[in-house]
Amino acid sequence: MNIICVITIRIDDELIKELEAIKERYKFKSLSEVVRKAIKEFVLSRTLPWSSREEVYRYFREKRKAVQGV
């Protein structure tokens, strides 16, 4: 079960205008929905599938073996 948390942020009026435009353009129901989507995309774009450098090396080593074996 996900727990919903409420946060408060301060955003300047220029950014609010941009967010309102995005809300209208893409038919979001609220600014909260726009902000949630933006945060989710930000986090997902920075999440790596590996938790360490060793995992990255192992992944590419295995990938190289698979390609060489083809």
| Residue 8 DSSP one-character state | -
Q: Where are the domains of the chain?
A: 13-68
Q: Which pair of tokens denotes residue 17?
A: 């205008």
Residue 37: how many other CB atoms lie within 10 Å: 13
The torsion angles phi and psi of 29, rounded to 5 degrees, stand at -80, -30
| Sequential pLDDT tens for the chain (70 residues) | 789 899 999 999 999 999 999 999 999 999 999 999 999 888 887 777 777 788 888 888 888 877 766 5
Q: Rounded to an integer, what distance in angstroms lies between the CA atom of residue 70 and that of residue 38?
A: 40
The pLDDT value given to residue 70? 52
Structure tokens, 19: 């967010």
